[in-house]
Amino acid sequence: MDLLRSTLTRARAALERGDVSSEELTRALIKQARRVQPVLNAFIAIDEDDALAAARRADAERGTARRAGAALAALHGIPLAHKDMFYRAGRASTCGSRILAQEIQPATATVLARLDAAGAFEFGRLGMSEFAYGVTGHNVHYGDVGNAWDAAHVAGGSSSGSASSVAACANFAALGTDTGASVRVPAACNGVVGIKTTFGAVSRAAAMPLSQSLDTVGLLARSVEDCALVFGVIAGADPADPPTNQWPFGEGWSWAPRGDLRGVRVGVAENFGHGDCSGEVAAAYAQSLDALRARGAEIVAVSVPDPDELQRAAMVVLQAEPAALHRQWMQTRADDYSPQVLTRLQAGLSIPAHEYIDALRLRSPMLERMRREVFAHCDALHAPVLTFAVPTRAETDVGGGPRMREMVSAFGRLTRPINFLGLPALSLPAGLAGGLPVGFQLIGPRFSEALLFGIGSAYQAERGFIDWHPRIALDSGAT
């Protein structure tokens, strides 16, 4: 069994059967992480000693449980690495920045505590865009994260290390965050699965904040089952994050894989990305729709209400709230920001209060219009993540040419409106364009993650994308 090129679900089954120990699994991941790090720069830190000690404890606990016939928690003995913005008490998290790099945190993020309780442990922390405020994966402080399929191309941001490490088979699954694009774009760029969760589904307590109205915690993994497994561990109400009081399932959330999609309607909107694609990108999206049809889904035409208005409102919130959050640091520590991030944050200070309030007021009526005009006619909406092939890091960096600013802005055009509405979206691999991955998103009503995972599992079975690997993973010699 090729453990590294496997999935978290399969590795978990191997642990349960006794085919591998947690220590063996951890050593293999750390070896692979160190091998790909000089190429991809996906890790901020690899915590080998602590991880191996945790793995040995897990192996001892498993032996005791096996002798007693006792069950173990859902992720027992699984080593994971996460985006470096989920705080752990007594430790600093860089958040991709200079400002927080040495600040010891007093509390542990709820999502990390829930993963701990489920038996997982950390073996590393992953690179990201500075303060999660970038969509390409560039970072002047710690270096850019490279795309696992070709490191000269962008990994996507801000959860760049999460996507790149998972695609390179140096990590089974990773926490990420998505405020405007930051799970779905990296997932699409690296050919992995990513879930942008419903606003209020997963606690953000003791995770670095960016936008109180848009921030969501999500996941990246190599299979739909892996995302669903970890989502089931971390989702649910948390008094420390009031929006999670809306969670409707208590502790009873579940999902079921699907073999076919008979009775499922998948919407396609020409005014929401599909009409803007061409060439290999359009062909990849067409193949993804063909795969859904092959499993029995009905593809129906819909129209997203006022996409441009949704985009404008999302941008107002995505500029105003981070600017307010960073205002004091911008006054006292401006030199510790990269010029690009500082400029974007400063722009948010000029947004009038009435414009910000008007944007927030638009959310409820637009949600109602989405229900009436889209989800009354389909169960999930199929949309591109990007309408163009993954560009190079040079093309999207400062000085990347006259189209650089336009191109970077286009990265979140089809993802930011979904954050504004607070809806869940599952990013899935569609194919390749120019030898690099293309990804689409399945968007559903609020708290419809189980539905999206079910549709995604049938699509995955049809396309077989969990066996698509970049060369850096195939050349690993993994065992």
Cross-strand pairs, 45: 125
Query: Catalytic residue at 182?
Result: yes
> Quick check: is 196 catalytic?
no
Residue range 62-68: average pLDDT?
A: 97
Q: Are 267 and 380 in contact (CB under 8 A)?
A: yes
CB-based contacts of 138: which residues, under 8 Å, 6+ apart?
129, 144, 154, 157, 340, 393, 396, 397
Structural domain tally of the chain? 1
SS3 state of residue 447? coil
Taking residues 172-191, what's their average pLDDT? 98
**Is 3 within the bounds of a domain?**
no
Asked whether residue 117 is domain-assigned, the answer is yes
Residue 457's domain spans which residues? 8-474
Active-site residue, from 83, 97, 162, 203:
83
- Interval 185-192 mean pLDDT: 98
pLDDT (0 to 100) of residue 479: 38
Q: What is the pLDDT of residue 29?
A: 97
- Give the DSSP H/E element, type plus range, for residue 167: helix 160-167
State the number of CA atoms in the 13 A half-sphere of 25 facing the CB.
Answer: 34
Instruction: Assess if residue 1 is contained within a domain.
Output: no
Query: For residue 436, what are the β-bridge partners?
Result: 433
Where does the pLDDT of residue 402 fall: very low under 50, low under 70, confident under 90, or very high at 90 and above?
low
pLDDT > 70: percent of the chain = 98
Tokens of 123: 């073996």
Instruction: Name the CA radius of gyration of the chain, rounded.
Output: 21
Q: How far apart are CA 387 and CA 278, in angstroms?
A: 8
DSSP count for the chain of H helices, then E strands: 16, 13
pLDDT digits (tens, 9 = 90+) for 79-91: 999 999 999 999 9
pLDDT of residue 239: 98
Is the per-residue pLDDT at 384 higher than 50? Answer: yes
Separation between Cα atoms, residue 315 and residue 318, nearest integer Å: 5
**pLDDT at residue 400 in the model:** 62
Mean pLDDT of the chain: 96
Among candidate residues 164, 165, 182, 211, the one labeled active-site is: 182
Q: Tell me, what's the pLDDT at 26?
A: 98
For residue 309, give the H/E element and its range: helix 307-332
* CATH code, domain carrying 379: 3.90.1300.10
Digit-coded pLDDT (tens) for 195-213: 999 999 999 999 999 999 9
Query: What backbone torsions phi and psi does residue 118 show, to the nearest 5 degrees?
Result: -85, 0
Residue with tokens 């290390």: 161
**Distance between CA atoms of residues 219 and 83, nearest Å:** 10
6 is catalytic: no
The confidence band for 49, taking pLDDT boundaries of 50, 70 and 90, is very high
**Residue 2 covered by a domain:** no
Distance from the Cα of residue 328 to its chain's centroid: 29
Averaged pLDDT for residues 167-184: 98
479 in a structural domain: no
Q: How many CA atoms, within 13 angstroms, populate the side-chain half-sphere of residue 170? A: 34
407: alpha, beta or left, given left = phi > 0 and alpha = psi -120 to 50?
Answer: alpha
> Is the peptide bond prior to 22 cis by the omega test (within 30 degrees of 0)?
no
Confidence at 255, pLDDT banded by 50, 70, 90: very high
Closest CA to 426 of 444, 414, 412: 444
Catalytic entry in 158, 211, 288, 427:
158
Question: Residue-wise over 81-91: b if at least 16 C-beta within 10 A, else e?
Answer: bbbbbbbbeee
The string of pLDDT tens digits covering residues 413-465 is: 999 999 999 999 999 999 999 999 999 999 999 999 999 999 999 999 999 99
pLDDT attached to residue 450 = 98
pLDDT per residue as tens digits for the range 261-303: 999 999 999 999 999 999 999 999 999 999 999 999 999 999 9
Residue 404: pLDDT above 80? Answer: no
